[in-house]
Structure 1
Amino acid sequence: MADAKHFKYIILGGGVAGGYAAREFSKLGLNPGELAIISKEAVAPYERPALSKAYLFPQGAARLPGFHVCVGSGGERLLPEWYTEKGIELILSTEIVKVDLASKTLTSASSTNFTYDVLIIATGSTVIRLSDFGVQGANANNIFYLREIDDADKLVAAIQAKKDGKAVIVGGGYIGLECAAALRINNLDVTMVYPEPWCMPRLFTPEIAAFYEGYYANKGVKIIKGTVAVGFDSNSNGDVTAVKLKDGRVLDADIVVVGVGAKPLVTLFKGQVEEEKGGIKTDGFFKTNVSGVYAVGDVATFPMKMYNEIRRVEHVDHSRKSAEQAVKAIKANEEGKTIEEYDYLPFFYSRSFDLSWQFYGDNVGDTILFGDSDPASAKPKFGSYWIKDSKIVGAFLESGSPDENKAIAKVAKVQPPVQDLELLKKEGLAFASKI
């Protein structure tokens, strides 16, 4: 073990959580040489949501260093130099292939060993690939997945090479909706395909989804629901030419973008740490059952205080906040102090075309829709409340102002009682503004 590089703290993973954790360490006091971030990506941590939005735009596209963390939450941008100035070692283009939590050792693909006193697991998620299910032809060229900046670069090159071509989007979630909008803005002929009866089924009600489907249709996006891609044709160069659907239809395609979900990257820790709900089980400080090991972001399954249950959350907002919480807990622990347990209000958002929605809270119970949800309106603006046990537990708003978004967040946090759903529907956003 003489060749091992030792650090007091190692963050494994150079995504959003890794960057926010580094900033928190720096804020709370860090000596040069104490912290390393190990990332298999070749660039310093950046705000991943940009990849399915502005990165793909034909004009004024986002590029690094423009969206390094922590600009996504209004903080200063941490350029690669920032890490050097703070004495933080950024170990990039380095894939860890073996983890031994008992001996506190990480081993890279090139057989370099790294040891630590405290480890923060921030490995995030990886995309689910159609080839994982043995879908025929799924390894053809120009079938894209979007997770890292390399993926986005390849997609941008294809958009430029296949000008005014045909694109098929497989999946009706975040990636599907955001990429469909971006490719349409690039003037591609876009068709979306997904098996569910409506888009974003994990969050949207049928009424909310109907608005977005109508809006996308008005923008020229074709939508095919209730079926899946079962195969791909390609030409002699290995480039994709068509998508075969389960219902028998065949769609011509120059570009395919697949967004069918992600899975947390926890394989390296199997059998060494307690797991739950597909992630690594932690407490309200993101401590695992292994001393000196914390897990944050997509990989952490943690107690959701508001709802008194254990959950795993895949979203950038939680990645940022859980990373900060873990570092606060690590530092407090060293100083013999205590901090409050993580008290998280679930928050999701998306932007596409001229639209921008935010959702707070829990999407369970009955729902009411308020406002103007006509996709043909010049300026549509609408929302929804979720009501369970006569309390509002969730709130959604399309095209809200910053103050209005704050108001719906407060409603979801406070969970005010509601007796009359008809009255709530009439009051709509005005109800949130009173809380």
Structure 2
Amino acid sequence: MGRAFVYVILGGGVAAGYAALEFSRRGISRGELCIISEEPVAPYERPALSKGFLLPEAPARLPSFHTCVGANEERLTPKWYKEHGIELVLGTRVKSADVKRKTLLTATGETISYKILIIATGARALKLEEFGVNGLDAENICYLRDLADATRLVGVMQSCAEKNAVVIGGGYIGMECAASLVINKINVTMVFPEAHCMARLFTPKISSYYEDFYKSKGVKFIKGTVLSSFENDSSGKVSIVPLHNATFLEGIIACVNSRLETGGEM
């Protein structure tokens, strides 16, 4: 027999943490609520991953950005969940759900039953191979979506000081990664298909203001094009980033800010 709960939150992202806080305020009994997450840590605030986490000095680390610090509430650390009788099932992926029987089957073969299921699986980063881009097996191609991604990016940055980075994408995450890379003394070129950074949110005038500020810090912009592939050196690391406009960039780090699709935080 597997475990049974009244409420199960499927997904361990920000929504799960804030939901847990609300459940505790409404007085659930111990053992009624369970959170299942593929990540090995309790829910945390993701914005920190492209901000304080990447700083070279005094970087942010858990538990400093566990939920619900984003709303100036107490940090929901693993100790908090234990004290409130909320079970965390971490490092666990759910393979299937039987909504008629109200059961979930995990990748390890455990069956978890529930009365009410809350699906909060969030989103995942789209990988470049899904767009037909070649040469993606290099160890210095980094995405940024979860704690493991951020930890990997920090490791690559620390091993590549005074080198070059190519940031793919001109949205929030791309801009914040570029700023962190510069702070880490890495030369940055940003590549995105739009005419301006943050094109979906900013007017051209506001975008130009931010671009001018970034340029004053040494960031280069290549706009109106996308990458076509990656070229790796003999050690298996990215060395050249060819673009569709025939430009070739030297890239010791390739940091990818791709769009998201739902379903990746089980």
Aligned to 2:92: 94
For 2:158, the equivalent position in structure 1 comes to: 160
Whether 1:245 aligns to 2:243 is: yes
Question: How far did 1:186 drift?
Answer: 0.6
2:246 alignment partner AA: G
Query: Given residue 217 of structure 2, which amino acid in structure 1 is its aligned partner?
Result: K
Instruction: Tell me, in whole angstroms, the C-alpha distance in 2 between the residues paired with 1:200 and 1:103.
Output: 45
The two structures have a TM-score, normalised by structure 2, of 0.97
Q: CA deviation at 1:237?
A: 2.3
Matched to 1:220, the amino acid is: G
C-alpha spacing 1:93/1:181, structure 2 compared with 1 (3 Å): same
State the distance in 2 between where 1:199 and 1:124 align: 25
Task: Give the secondary structure class of the aligned counterpart of 1:246.
Answer: coil
In 1: Cα distance, 2:49 partner to 2:191 partner: 21
Asked which structure has the greater CA Rg, the reply is: 1
How many angstroms does 1:15 deviate by? Answer: 0.8
Shift of 1:260: 2.0
Per-residue CA deviation, residues 308-340 of structure 1 (Å, 9 max, x unaligned), is xxxxxxxxxxxxxxxxxxxxxxxxxxxxxxxxx
Q: For residues 264 and 190 of structure 2, what CA distance do their matches in structure 1 show?
A: 31
Deviation for aligned residue 1:209: 0.7
Shift of residue 140, structure 1, vs aligned partner: 1.6
Q: Secondary structure at the match of 1:230?
A: coil
Tell me how far 1:86 sits from its aligned partner. Answer: 0.8
Give the partner amino acid of 1:54. G
* RMSD (CA atoms): 1.3
CA distance in 1 between partners of 2:232 and 2:99 (Å): 45
- Which residue of structure 1 lines up, in the alignment, with residue 177 of structure 2? 179
Aligned-residue offset at 1:238: 1.4
- How far is the alpha carbon of 1:139 from its aligned partner? 2.5
1:37 aligns with 2:35: yes
Percent of pairs identical after alignment?
Answer: 52
CA contact (8 A) 1:169 1:259 kept: yes
Shift of 1:133: 1.3
Which secondary structure does the structure 2 equivalent of 1:172 belong to? coil
Q: Which amino acid aligns with 2:176?
A: E
What letter is aligned with 1:154?
R
SS in 1 for 2:246: coil
Contact 2:191–2:223 (CA<8 Å) still a contact in 1? yes
Partner of residue 17 from structure 1, selected from 12, 15, 35: 15
- Give the distance between the partners of 2:97 and 2:236, measured in 1 at CA: 37
Match of 2:136 in 1: 138
Structure 1: gaps (5+ residues): 269-435
Give how far 1:266 is off: 7.7
Are 1:75 and 2:87 an aligned pair?
A: no
Deviation at 1:153, TM superposition (A): 0.5
Q: For the Cα contact (< 8 Å) 1:166–1:190, is it kept in 2? A: yes
* Alignment deviations for residues 163-209 of structure 1 (CA, whole Å, 9 cap, x no partner): 11100000001111010011011110000000011111111111111
The residue number in structure 1 matching 2:123 is: 125
The corresponding residue for 1:170 is: 168
Asked if the contact 1:240/1:255 (under 8 Å) is kept, the reply is yes
1:210 aligns to what?
Answer: 208
Conserved in 2, the CA contact under 8 Å of 1:131 and 1:139? no
Read off the aligned partner of 2:8 and give its amino acid letter.
Answer: I
CA contact (8 A) 1:180 1:221 kept: yes
Q: Give every structure 1 segment of 4 or more consecutive aligned residues whose post-TM-superposition deviation is greater than 3 Å.
A: none
Show structure 2 runs of 5+ residues with no match.
none
Query: Given that residues 13 and 122 in structure 2 are in contact (C-alpha distance below 8 angstroms), is that contact kept between their aligned partners in structure 1?
Result: yes
Contact 1:173 1:260 in 2 (8 A): no
| Structure of higher RCO (CA pairs closer than 8 Å, 6+ residues apart) | 2
Tell me the equivalent position of 1:48.
46
Query: Alpha carbons of 1:267 and 1:187: their partners in 2 closer, same or farther (altered >3 Å)?
Result: closer
The answer on 1:219 being equivalent to 2:217 is yes
Matched residues, number? 266
Task: Tell me how far apart the structure 2 counterparts of residues 149 and 221 of structure 1 sit (CA, whole Å).
Answer: 25
Match of 1:259 among 248, 257, 262: 257
Task: State the distance in 2 between where 1:153 and 1:251 align.
Answer: 25
For each residue in 1:62-107, what CA deviation from the matched residue of structure 2 results, as whole angstroms up to 9, or x when unmatched? 0011111111111111110111111110000001111222221111
Which structure's residues are more often strand, by fraction? Answer: 1
Corresponding residue SS for 2:85: coil
Could you state the TM-score of these two structures normalised by the residue count of structure 1?
Answer: 0.60
